[in-house]
Amino acid sequence: MKTQRIVEILKSDAVDTDVVVKGWVRTKRGNKNVAFIALNDGSCVGNIQVVVDLAKISEEQLKPVTTGACLRVDGRLVASPGAGQGVEVQAEKIEVYGTADPESYPLQKKGHSLEFLREIAYLRPRTNTFGAVLRIRHAMAYAIHEYFNKHGFYYFHTPIITASDCEGAGAMFQVTTLDMNNLPRTGEGAVDYAQDFFGKACNLTVSGQLEGELGALSLGRIYTFGPTFRAENSNTPRHASEFWMIEPEAAFFELEDNMELAEDFLKYLIRYALDNCMEDLEFMNKMWDKGLLERLHFVLEHDFKRLDYTEGIEILKASGRKFEFPCDWGCDLQSEHERYLVEEHFKRPVILINYPKDIKAFYMKQNDDGKTVRAMDVLFPGIGEIIGGSEREADYGKLHARVAELGMNEKELWWYLDTRRWGSAPHSGFGLGFDRLLLFVTGMTNIRDVQPFPRTPQHADF
């Protein structure tokens, strides 16, 4: 007989039929006549209730059925007389696939703190909370591909191992086959990357953008969606050393088109979650964040505020607020500033544009004022920056001069500069932090709680 998933069984109206259910025990309770087992298979928040008549299946046989054990239950689906569930399974036969010794199994019946669950991240997908978060994560990944497919963007695979530093921030994990521990850093016998696997220094990518631009300048519209890596020692609830990024890049898009794309894309994803993940969202709303559903609807129903960086600074200065890091024109906004603009001043998402060129990456299109670039950050309530992007500098002379001015390694960037020599075109793009999107959509407040296996400084545990 075909095994059915619990999500389907719970919605089934095929009562009085034989079923097979398989899953992990959440709880077992009962009396001397009957036992009730709550079984979950990861397909939904809900459990199926398995009712065991102890005259048919002995208490002795049920001994290994403890929280965490994995079972196969053959039985009959019946309408449930109890409150809270439409159907239940009357067990005819129970097979224990795997026991879970109650003395050592870390997940107990009771709820656990998020901090504790982080220490056992390899087991937490078995909890309702992480089941919900990871199903929403899946749905968002699916919706991202769906959105771009509908809008004529091609999924473009950029390399994970690269020799370039897109953001120019130097926060890169090196990739090497040399035994660095036994090599002096300088002097005789020092690291010689020519001897290394690729014949030069390579690193894990911080962004697929530079290669993505080549895609846009040939296929027109592309997007990347893959893991990116940053070796910055940022211990915040919004930074991870390994995170996923979605980077659309489009030829003939100017900053205005880029902003429209970003807003439409984010709203599409939020709407998708509301249309397809309601049970999980309601669970998150009830358990962790009572304002979640309201906030998701709010963002859908309001236009994002478009704001010049210069105006943003004036608002911050006029706010009378004592910020931890006071802010003047030219400063990089801290999350306290971003959140003030979004949560207190405008009370809706903000797209901040035209930043000073000195705090932004080399590839951004320069404005005629000589001071600012056509950058675009999307700031979200509770998150701060969720998207970073820009129109790109398409002029070879200007780009080349900026690379030289910043002392960047032209030899490594020759292929990128070449795109501006032959058939250059106006183009724009942005990067959406997938895990930050998940923070917003699930209501979780720590990036470690929306990734299955988080990597942060000092933590690569599972």
Which residues lie near Mg ion (CB under 5 A)? 388
Decide the pairing of beta strands 17-30 and 70-79. antiparallel
Adjacent-strand bridge partners of 248: 223
Tell me how far, at minimum, the Cβ of 250 lies from ligand 4AD, in Å: 11
Q: What is the per-residue DSSP string for 164-200?
A: --TTSS----EE--S-GGGS-SSSTT---GGGSTTSS
Tell me how far, at minimum, the Cβ of 361 lies from ligand 4AD, in Å: 7
Give 47 or 209: the residue with its C-beta nearer to ligand 4AD. 209
Decide the pairing of beta strands 48-53 and 154-155. unpaired
Tell me how far, at minimum, the Cβ of 389 lies from Mg ion, in Å: 8
Give 162 or 209: the residue with its C-beta nearer to ligand 4AD. 209
Q: Could you tell which of ligand 4AD, Mg ion, none binds residue 435, using a CB distance below 5 to 8 A set by kind?
A: ligand 4AD
Tell me how far, at minimum, the Cβ of 397 lies from ligand 4AD, in Å: 22
Neighbouring CB atoms inside 10 A of 144's CB total 23
Q: Which residues bind ligand 4AD (CB under 6 A)?
A: 166-167, 207, 209, 230, 239-240, 243, 245, 247, 385-389, 429-431, 433, 435-436, 447
Q: Could you tell which of Mg ion, ligand 4AD, none binds residue 245, using a CB distance below 5 to 8 A set by kind?
A: ligand 4AD
Give 46 or 248: the residue with its C-beta nearer to ligand 4AD. 248
- Burial (CB < 10 A; 0-12, 13-18, 19+), residue 112, is middle
Give 247 or 280: the residue with its C-beta nearer to ligand 4AD. 247
Give 35 or 373: the residue with its C-beta nearer to ligand 4AD. 373
Q: Could you tell which of ligand 4AD, Mg ion, none binds residue 392, using a CB distance below 5 to 8 A set by kind?
A: none
3-state secondary structure 32-94: CCEEEEEEECCCCCCCEEEEEECCCCCHHHHCCCCCCCEEEEEEEEEECCCCCCCEEEEEEEE
Q: Is 305 helix (H, G, I), strand (E, B) or coil?
A: strand
Q: Could you tell which of Mg ion, ligand 4AD, none binds residue 75, using a CB distance below 5 to 8 A set by kind?
A: none
Q: Could you tell which of Mg ion, ligand 4AD, none binds residue 436, using a CB distance below 5 to 8 A set by kind?
A: ligand 4AD
Give 349 or 389: the residue with its C-beta nearer to ligand 4AD. 389
Q: How far is CA 95 from the centre of its chain?
A: 37
Tell me how far, at minimum, the Cβ of 332 lies from ligand 4AD, in Å: 11
Tell me how far, at minimum, the Cβ of 164 lies from ligand 4AD, in Å: 11
Tell me how far, at minimum, the Cβ of 385 lies from Mg ion, in Å: 6
Give 124 or 238: the residue with its C-beta nearer to Mg ion. 238
Residue 367 has what DSSP assignment?
Answer: P
Q: Give the alpha-carbon dihedral of 207, 130, 64, 105, to 10 degrees.
A: 70
Q: Give the alpha-carbon dihedral of 354, 358, 359, 364, to 10 degrees.
A: 50
Q: Could you tell which of ligand 4AD, Mg ion, none binds residue 280, using a CB distance below 5 to 8 A set by kind?
A: none
Q: Could you tell which of Mg ion, ligand 4AD, none binds residue 380, using a CB distance below 5 to 8 A set by kind?
A: none
Q: Could you tell which of Mg ion, ligand 4AD, none binds residue 175, using a CB distance below 5 to 8 A set by kind?
A: none
In the chain, what is the straight-line distance between the N-terminal and C-terminal CA atoms, in Å? Answer: 36
Give 388 or 429: the residue with its C-beta nearer to Mg ion. 388
The position carrying tokens 């979605």 is: 246
Tell me how far, at minimum, the Cβ of 333 lies from ligand 4AD, in Å: 12
Number of H helices, E strands in the chain: 13, 16
The closest of 429, 354, 352, 360 to 389, measured between CA atoms, is 429
